């Protein structure tokens, strides 16, 4: 669901950049009081895990489409909404800058759609009431599943509204909406199952992590090393190996655009801002499309149709995961150091 610059006007893209930046500043101030020496490495490892998980596009049967994990609900349940939003921003920044996954102008929209909706709406209003203060396995599954669906549905509608407000594409509002919502409902159900599985594992191993996130407190002195090691190894396996087998079908957004317009990717307007941002992304994307460079890079969704099982995909998974881990961890340590002053 990573938006391309071709869907957005500079006014809408710039506004959403400002909204995302303001949200990051607000979350940073709130996170300082929750951080301890356990939550910081958890932020980094979860960032790497979500980066790797988003590389796996899974086929939606009978549609010719695919989807991938958003990850916002997993982050919110395990970190709390504010830290989760910062980690999601780190993931999306790395994807856009180094892998050309999502446009630079669209980065603010992508942070908002994949961060604000799951972390600040679906998590507190859906997951927490359903899971309760003492969640059991059944309540965890119901809360995770419904929260993932709601978060993704809101994010999909956010894409439609941002496209509509931009007014630079020929996508009809009703048609686009009626395509985006059902396909992302199917994707959301899969995300809900994955979310419930991950959260149930962490809850069974270290329930204090979920309690600290829900209460906005520090994790405390309980060792979370087994959880960190498991998530880190999962990130390596997913990003370095399982990513080879990502579905070649277009993702939900590309599929909806194709059904509505006849093309999976729309041409970006030939204005100065779109042109400059496209050139910048082409120059800085080290592994565009999560593989070795093979030609010009166009800002927008990644076409997985040409993916092959080779070292380039593994390198992208390792590099992206490690860079995300470092960015999220450094951000945590910076906030922690300011907390101590």
pLDDT, one tens digit for every residue, the chain (341 residues): 799 999 999 999 999 999 999 999 999 999 988 888 788 999 999 999 999 999 999 999 999 999 999 999 999 999 999 999 999 999 999 999 999 999 999 999 999 999 999 999 999 999 999 998 788 899 999 999 999 999 999 999 999 999 999 998 889 999 999 999 999 999 999 999 999 999 999 999 999 999 989 988 888 777 899 999 999 999 999 998 888 888 989 999 999 999 998 887 788 888 889 999 999 999 999 889 888 876 444 444 444 444 445 678 889 999 999 999 999 999 989 988 776 65
Predicted pLDDT at 269: 83
| Per-residue buried b or exposed e for 133-161, using 16+ beta carbons within 10 Å of the residue's own CB | eebeeeebbbbbbbbbbbbbbbbbbbbbe
Q: Which residue has 């989807």 as its token pair? A: 67
Residue 42 in contact with residue 87, Cβ under 8 Å? Answer: no
Query: What is the structure's pLDDT at 267?
Result: 83
For residue 313, give Cα distances in angstroms to 23, 58, 166, 227, 237: 32, 16, 34, 26, 12
CA torsion sign, 274 to 23 to 125 to 148? positive
Question: How far apart, in whole angstroms, are the C-alpha atoms of residue 120 and residue 128?
Answer: 11
With vertex at residue 299, the alpha carbon angle to CA 173 and CA 44, rounded to the nearest 5 degrees, is 100
Q: In angstroms, how far is CA 323 from the centroid of its own chain? A: 15
For residue 298, what pLDDT is reported? 42
Rounded to whole angstroms, how far apart are CA atoms 298 and 244?
22
Predicted local confidence at residue 133, as pLDDT: 79
The pLDDT value given to residue 167: 92
State residue 36's pLDDT score. Answer: 82
**Domains defined for the chain, CATH in brackets:** 5-339 (1.10.1760.20)
């Amino acid at each position: 669901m990573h938006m391309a610059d071709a869907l957005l006007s500079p006014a809408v893209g710039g506004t959403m950049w400002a909204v995302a930046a303001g949200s990051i500043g607000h979350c940073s101030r709130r996170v300082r009081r929750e951080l301890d020496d356990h939550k910081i490495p958890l932020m980094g490892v979860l960032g790497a895990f979500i980066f790797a998980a988003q590389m796996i596009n899974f086929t939606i049967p009978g549609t010719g489409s695919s989807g991938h994990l958003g990850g916002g609900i997993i982050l919110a349940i395990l970190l709390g909404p504010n830290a989760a939003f910062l980690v999601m921003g780190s993931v999306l920044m790395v994807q856009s800058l180094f892998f050309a996954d999502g446009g630079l102008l669209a980065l603010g929209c992508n942070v908002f759609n994949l961060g604000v909706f799951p972390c600040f709406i679906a998590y507190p209003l859906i997951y927490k009431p359903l899971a309760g203060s003492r969640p059991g396995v059944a309540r965890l599954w119901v809360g995770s599943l419904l929260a993932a669906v709601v978060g993704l549905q809101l994010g999909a509608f956010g894409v439609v509204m941002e496209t509509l407000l931009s007014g630079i594409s020929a996508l009809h509002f009703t048609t686009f909406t009626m395509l985006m919502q059902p396909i992302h409902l199917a994707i959301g159900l899969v995300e809900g199952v994955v979310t419930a599985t991950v959260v149930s594992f962490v809850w069974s191993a270290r329930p204090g992590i979920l309690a600290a996130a829900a209460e906005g407190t520090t994790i405390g002195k309980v060792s979370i090393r087994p959880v960190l090691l498991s998530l880190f190894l999962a990130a390596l396996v997913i990003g370095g190996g399982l990513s080879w087998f990502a579905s070649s079908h277009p993702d939900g957004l590309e599929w909806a655009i194709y059904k509505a317009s006849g093309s999976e990717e729309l041409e970006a307007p030939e204005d100065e801002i779109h042109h400059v941002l496209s050139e910048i992304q082409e120059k800085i994307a080290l592994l565009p499309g999560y593989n070795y460079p093979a030609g010009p890079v166009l800002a927008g969704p990644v076409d997985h149709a040409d993916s092959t099982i080779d070292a380039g995909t593994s390198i992208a998974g390792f590099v992206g995961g490690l860079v995300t881990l470092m960015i999220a961890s450094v951000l945590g340590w910076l906030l922690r150091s300011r907390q101590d002053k």
